[in-house]
Every structure is written in C-alpha cells, then in structure tokens.
Amino acid sequence: MSKDHFVAMTEFHFMNLQTMSEITYYPGMKQFHDSVNGVLKAWAGRDLDSEWPQPLASELIKHMDRANVDVAFCLREPMMDITGGVVSFSTNGFMLQQIEPYPERMYLEANVGPMIRRGIEHAVWELEYLVKEKGAKLCKVYQPEDAGPINDRRLWPFYEKAQELKVPLTVHTGMSYVNPQPNSHCHVGQLDDVMIAFPDLRVIAYHAGWPDTELLIGLCGKHQHLYMSISGIIGWYQRAPYRGYHAIGTALQWMNSDKIVMGFDLPFDDLPRITDYIRNLEIPEDLRKKWGYPQVTEQDKANILGLNLARLTGIEPRKRTKPAR
C-alpha cells in the first residue's frame, strides 16, 4: 500500500473575528481564556497568548497543502454561555461562507446547539436543513454548554432525526475543558444510554474520552456504530509518545482500526506534526511484548488518516494534494 495516504480530519474551528472583537468586555471571556490554557499547554505546548494562525479558511488551506491534508470538516465555535446566550463565536452561516471557495477540500461539520436551551424543534429543523440543503456531512454535539448531559432524554428527538438522516454525530466526551461548563454533561458512560436507544446512530466520540479513554474503548467494542476520535488529544500523544502508544495500542486490542477516527482541534500550524505522528506511528517492541499491543500496519494508518471518515461521510477518498518532493 502506498504511504501517500488520503488524509481527512474533523473539528477545524473557524472564528468570526469581527464578533470576537465585539465581545471582549464580557467577564466570561477572561474566564474562558484562562481555563482553556490548561488543555492547550498539554495538547499544543502553548497558550492563547502565543502566536497562532488566523482561525479562517484562507489560512487553513495553506497549512493543509503544506501538511498534505486532503479534506477538513469545519465547524462553528458556539460558546454562547460566555456571553450569557447573546452571541456565538461563529455560526453555521459563517462556516458556509468560509468553506465555499474550497469545494471538496472543506466540508461543513454542523453544530446546531445548544439544543435544549434553544428548543429541540429548532435544532432538529436546522440539522435537517443543513444536511439536505447545504451538504453538511457531520454534526457536532457539544453538551457542556447546554442544559443537560449527552443522555438527557430531551435530546432523543434530535438523535432520532440524526439517525433518520444517516448523518454521523461528533460528540464531545470526557473532560469539559473550559469554564463555565460542567464535566457532568459529557461523561463517556452517558454514550451507552444513547447507543442502546439508537443502535443505528453513528457516533464519533471526540478527544478519546480522556480521562476515561479505556471506558470509551470498551464501549466502542460493545457498540457497532460508536467510533473513537483522537481529535485534540493527538497533539498530546505526539508530544508524549508513550501516552499515545498505550491509548492506540489498547484501542487496537478491542476493535479494528476502522473504528479510530482522525480529528484536529488544534492551531492550524500543528497539522504537519499531527499527520506525521500517524504516518510514522510504530509501537515499540517492548510495549508489544509486555502489553500485548499489535504493531500498527500501513492499512491501520490509512484507515485512521482518512479512509474511516471517507466511509462515514460518503466522500471520495482520493488525494486532493500533491506531496512535496
């Protein structure tokens, strides 16, 4: 198999810079800023005060080409609780405007939350519209900013609609990394209730469910349509390789590599180190002997880097970039 793999990732956030400039005076902005620095220190080795690429499509495409990344699934950053429900950091409409110049390179990953707070009927309408009329390939569920957890029964009509539309849901799981959002709304174990109630719903659990990664791995083994995404946390795996060896090695003991999905959720200029981490991933012999982990094959890498997302979203897994020579 060629090592020039098709590469596709979810969770590229764009921000409306005009909106962001207008809401700096809200007290919640400082609280958000200070709390998000913890996860950025672990995942990216820097904080929000460091130099970052602009969170816009025109900037992302440059880094995609440099890192030989073919497809990005792009989504709004809501965080409406930061301003008491006044405004979102970006909207689905803004995302559609951003990705329009880059067909077949960037696709919409919708986010129609906070679903309980806005009213389920409104979220269901927008989901159906964005999937049917605007070609959304995925939809993010971010319950830390909503009025109930992942397994809140008020969300059942939304899950039913997503199952009917056959649109995979990408779900934030594990820690709630920022203030003022509670951990109690995104526990990994809550997925079990959802998957039992909606066995044909395809769910991609973000951030490997950290710190409950092993629980998520067990649930992925249990449920046919539950997938583990290494979005965000892959930055930590690359910076602390043995952490990644254990997480991915354990996952491969419980499930095939076709259930591990690539994601991002990092500064755009981190793309090369993230993709190269998977391209070059080999579990050391001592871990394979002592822990029983399998070696990562080229097929495993191809699955994780993009084939799994292509299958889940129905896009063609063909190269859109030419590798640098």
233 assigned to some structural domain: yes
Output phi, psi for 227, to 5 deg. Answer: -120, 150
Count of C-beta atoms within a 10 Å radius of residue 280: 10
Average pLDDT score, the chain: 96
Per-residue model confidence as pLDDT tens digits over 94-143: 999 999 999 999 999 999 999 999 999 999 999 999 999 999 999 999 99
Locate all alpha helices (DSSP H) within 51-119, ordered by sequence.
Answer: 57-67, 92-99, 115-118
293 assigned to some structural domain: yes
323 assigned to some structural domain: no
Q: Identify whether the C-beta of residue 14 lies closer than 8 Å to the C-beta of residue 90.
A: yes
- pLDDT at residue 276, rounded to an integer: 96
Determine the angle formed by the axes of helices 213-222 and 190-197, rounding to 10 degrees.
10
Output phi, psi for 166, to 5 deg. Answer: 60, 35
Domain ranges, residue 193? 8-313
Q: Identify whether the C-beta of residue 32 lies closer than 8 Å to the C-beta of residue 179.
A: yes
123 assigned to some structural domain: yes
321 assigned to some structural domain: no
Place of tokens 């679903």: 115
With a cut of 50, say whether residue 325 has pLDDT above it: no
Per-residue model confidence as pLDDT tens digits over 11-49: 999 999 999 999 999 999 999 989 999 899 999 999 888
Per-residue model confidence as pLDDT tens digits over 147-180: 999 999 999 999 999 999 999 999 999 999 998 9
Number of domains in the chain: 1
CA distance 24 to 281: 41
> Which pLDDT band holds residue 50 (cuts at 50, 70, 90)?
confident
217 assigned to some structural domain: yes
114 assigned to some structural domain: yes
Output the domain CATH number for residue 116. Answer: 3.20.20.140
pTM above 0.85, yes or no: yes
195 assigned to some structural domain: yes
With a cut of 50, say whether residue 265 has pLDDT above it: yes
Q: Identify whether the C-beta of residue 138 lies closer than 8 Å to the C-beta of residue 73.
A: yes
Return the CA Rg of the chain: 19
CA distance 38 to 180: 14
